Amino acid sequence: MVKPAKKYRNLTNQEIQELVKNHCLAEDWNRVLVVDGFRTENVRAVMFSGDVKLGRFSAKVSLPGGVEAPSGVMYAGLHNCTVGDNVMIRNVGRHIANYDIADRAVIHDVSLIVTTGESSFGNGVEVATVNENGGREVPIYDRLSCQVAYLLAFYRHRPELIAALKREIGKYVASVTSARGSIGECAKIVGCGSLTNVRVGAHAEISGATRLVNGTVNSSAVAPSRIGDGVIAENFVTADGAVVDGASIITNCFVGQGTLLNHQFSASNTLFFANSEGYYGEACSVFAGPYTVTHHKSTLLIAGLFSFYNAGSGTNQSNHMYKLGCLHQGILERGGKTGSSSYLLWPCRIGAFSTVIGKHGSKFDASDFPFSNVMEYEGKSVLIPGLNFTSSGTRRDGDKWPARDRRKGGELLDRINFDTLNPFVVGRMIAGRDILRRLDEETPALQEEVDHRGVKILRSRFKKGLQLYNCGIRLYLGAVIAARVERFLCENPGGNVCEIFRVASIKGAGTWIDACGMLLPKKCMDELLDEIETGGLSGIDMIEGRMTELHGKYRELEWDWVVAAWLEETGNPLAEIGVGEVAQAVQDWRDLTDERNSLTLEDAKKEFDLSARIGFGIDGAEAVADDFAAVRGDFDHNEFVKIIRAEAGQVRERATNILAQLGVPDA
């Protein structure tokens, strides 16, 4: 609901006399306007200049520690400002100039708040992400989503697309450009240094910040944002629900919804999207997709694309070969991890849900091998394919990400698909399996290792890698088929279940991509880009809306891909699919889920063996077991273990019910 415009009047002579008595001064009292109900007793020691409008000051303001203080303006200078109802402004060292301050805002103990000429408040700032030397700049703005940033950064081979996107973003930037700053309803700015050309959203809290320049702090009552002690920020936009605290320093940055930057973290030319976390360390020219996490003082992330990522202590990358400048870049696909003191010489590309251990001075592309370990051995980069597929850590990650979504409110800017197994990842598993098969056939029997795109693969690892990839592929296809069959039988008891395969289209078939959290077929992305380039989608909101529409069709498009992939894997023509083939897919899902869960639990069990108990029972061996149990518990009662076992039981029960409805004996 739009609030009616306030009506202002000139001060009466009596009010002017009372304000002068309260040690207030004005260049021209005729330019100080107030609303009916204005009270002079709450305005003291104020210097008015330019055009100033004041609201009512009738309510008290709550401060930390249970303190309640009167609203009003005291010990401040106001120049060309509008002050809303029940605002508290107190102890402004210099002045506030060219600002609209909404109802119930609090400004207390600050040095300077000014807007200096026309400003877009950080909107339109170009962030040199991924490539420190430039070429992938992303203009940031209030409503920037991970997916629009992804297009701007990585589709430079389509100049018409980039021009169209920048043109639409430019329109938005122009719409928010103003010579007046704003401080939103119930916002708090307390104990700060200077704010220059900074727009502050409703319910935001800026407490103890040192210096903020050319930025926007988006915020709302549902998802308030915070800028905390010692923060220095320049050329920035933070989304609602973001937190920048603990003397962090950011320059040319976008900070997305639910993102936390703290503990002296520093970042330049970096985009942080939903639920990312940066503590202690440093980021430079990073595209930090959803859930990018770095928590260690010695960690540097530079010139890379990351998402669902966890950086070990001492993680480092190098984008400079001391030839033509810092122009190299790298990609860790979703779910990647880097172990302590790991090092990567860009350019490199690592597959989804893979772990990098050791120092890697060679350039390689392991993107076709998800769930792998890339290890340093005798100075070489060695790939162990598929190892993480049964890792308890990988399974735990898949569960924790949706549970740790800090975004609040109905409008989530980034589109995120949390499925660990999906057409993008499983498509890569199929590619990795086929490469291993080919290498196995082509490699001489006595050759111990093979080089593939710069990484070494041990011949002894071929068989296990093939087993793990085959398990994952068949498990995923069976799981999706079982869920679709289950739904069909619920809605159509006694119906012909084979009908569900005949309604699948080719829309979702073929190669899929991960647009940094959003999963979709490449052909759908290409159609979207064509539409943007030709002007079929005008306005950034319409572009975002089409992306949201595609995101909402994930399950439908996934089914298209699964049917096509399943037919390819089994070699069965669509016309020959019968109940027996469907039942086999359900049985594969059940049996392979059991197999994977069994291996995952064996991996988790290592956390409870004797070697894990070193350091327990500090004053005697007899206390080791009791001390370990008191701190860590036991394997059977571990929450993760209970979840995996419960899931296994649910899958077996569902499979049994499906097979019974299909009239197939449970093998």
The answer to whether 434 touches 568, Cβ cutoff 8 Å, is: no
For the stretch 232-263, pLDDT in tens is 999 999 999 999 999 999 999 999 999 999 99
* 3-state secondary structure labels for all residues of 282-295: EEECCEECCCEEEC
Distances (CA, A) of 441 to 130, 461, 570: 38, 14, 21
pLDDT of residue 667: 64
Buried b vs exposed e over 137-148: b needs ≥16 C-beta within 10 Å?
bbbbbbbbbbbb
Count Cβ atoms below 10 Å from residue 602 Cβ, excluding itself.
11
Percent of the chain residues topping a pLDDT of 90: 86
pLDDT at 1 over 60: no
Task: Let me know how long the chain is.
Answer: 667
Q: At 16, phi and psi to the nearest 5?
A: -65, -45
- HSE-up (13 A, CA, CB side) for residue 627: 14
Which amino acid is located at 315 in the chain? T
pLDDT of residue 611: 86
Sort 9 into a burial class: Cβ within 10 Å, 0-12 / 13-18 / 19+: exposed
Distances (CA, A) of 595 to 391, 538, 590, 655: 13, 50, 9, 15
pLDDT of residue 2: 54
Domain boundaries, the chain: 1-114, 498-576, 580-662
For the stretch 506-558, pLDDT in tens is 899 999 999 999 999 999 999 999 999 999 988 899 999 999 999 999 999 99
The answer to whether 634 touches 622, Cβ cutoff 8 Å, is: no
How far is residue 127's CA from residue 113's CA, in Å, rounded to a whole number? 25
Strand partners, 612: none
pLDDT of residue 325: 67
pTM of the predicted protein model: 0.95
